[in-house]
Amino acid sequence: MKTANEIAAITDKAYLERIAHRHDSTMNLINYKLVPSVENAAKQGDTDIRFRIDPDLDRDLVVSVFSAQGYDVKYRGYDMAISWLNAYLKLRTNSK
């Protein structure tokens, strides 16, 4: 039988692997779904996208990544919105 400390170490390893997988899955969502969706929406003249995020993904990571690039990100539960309206309005105001 393994000791409680050995089992705790196994649990910690599994936890870290799960967190890494969650991070990687969220980054894949960002890079391969959300970024193209933002670009496609902008090409159609839209100023935001709305989507539902899977509970297994990291909402805070999505917020952090897009906020760092100047987007406004809001969520309620698993419904999220990414907006670039403020940046667009600033651009339109400065171009006049």
Give per-residue pLDDT as tens, 20-36.
Answer: 999 999 999 999 999 99
3-state SS of 37-50 is: HHHHHHHCCCCEEE
CA distance 80 to 63: 9
Residue 57 confidence class, pLDDT cut points 50, 70, 90: very high
In terms of Cβ atoms closer than 10 Å to its own Cβ (0-12, 13-18, 19+), residue 77 is exposed
Q: Does the pLDDT of residue 12 top 80, yes or no?
A: yes
Provide φ and ψ at 75, rounded to 5°: -145, 150
Compute and round to an integer the Cα radius of gyration of the chain.
19
Are the C-beta atoms of 82 and 73 separated by less than 8 Å?
A: yes
